[in-house]
Copies of this chain bind each other. A is one copy, B any other.
Amino acid sequence: MKSYCVGVDIGGTSIKLGVFTGRGRMLGKWEIKTDKSDSGSHILDDIAASIKVKLSEMGISLEEIKGVGMGVPGPTMADGYVPVCVNLGWKAVNPAKLLSEKLGGVTVKCGNDANVATMGEMWKGGGKGYKNVVLFTLGTGVGGGVIINGKMVVGNRGLAGELGHMTVNCDETDSCNCGNKGCLEQYASATGVVKVAKRILEASDAESGLRNFETLTCKDVFDEAKKGDKLALEAVETLGKYLGMVLSYLTLGFDPDVFVIGGGVSKAGTILTDVVRKYYEKYTVISKEKAQIKLATLENDAGIYGAAKMAISR
A245 to B55, CA, bound (A): 49
A167 to B253, CA, bound (A): 12
* CB of A178 within 8 Å of the partner chain: yes
* CB of A58 within 8 Å of the partner chain: no
Please pick, from B154, B158, B167, B289, the residue contacting A245 in the complex, using a CB distance under 8 A.
B167
In the complex, the chain B residue whose C-beta lies closest to that of A78 is: B149
Q: How many residues of A are in contact with the other chain, CB < 8 A?
A: 43
* CB of A254 within 8 Å of the partner chain: yes
Instruction: Tell me the interface secondary structure of chain A in the complex.
Output: loop
Query: Interface readout for A285-301 with B: 1 if CB under 8 Å, 0 if not?
Result: 11101010000000000
**Complex contact A286–B165 (CB within 8 A):** yes
Q: Which residues of B contact A250 (CB under 8 A)?
A: 253
Query: Interface readout for A150-161 with B: 1 if CB under 8 Å, 0 if not?
Result: 010111111111
* CB of A257 within 8 Å of the partner chain: yes
Within 8 A of B (CB), among A161-212: 161-163, 165-167, 170, 178-180
Q: Which residues of B contact A180 (CB under 8 A)?
A: 283-286
Residues in chain A within 8 A of chain B (CB atoms): 132, 146, 148-149, 151, 153-163, 165-167, 170, 178-180, 241, 245-246, 248-257, 283-287, 289, 291
Q: Can you give 13 A-B contacts (C-beta < 8 A)? A: A148-B148, A156-B257, A159-B286, A161-B252, A162-B252, A165-B285, A165-B286, A167-B245, A167-B283, A170-B245, A180-B283, A180-B284, A249-B253
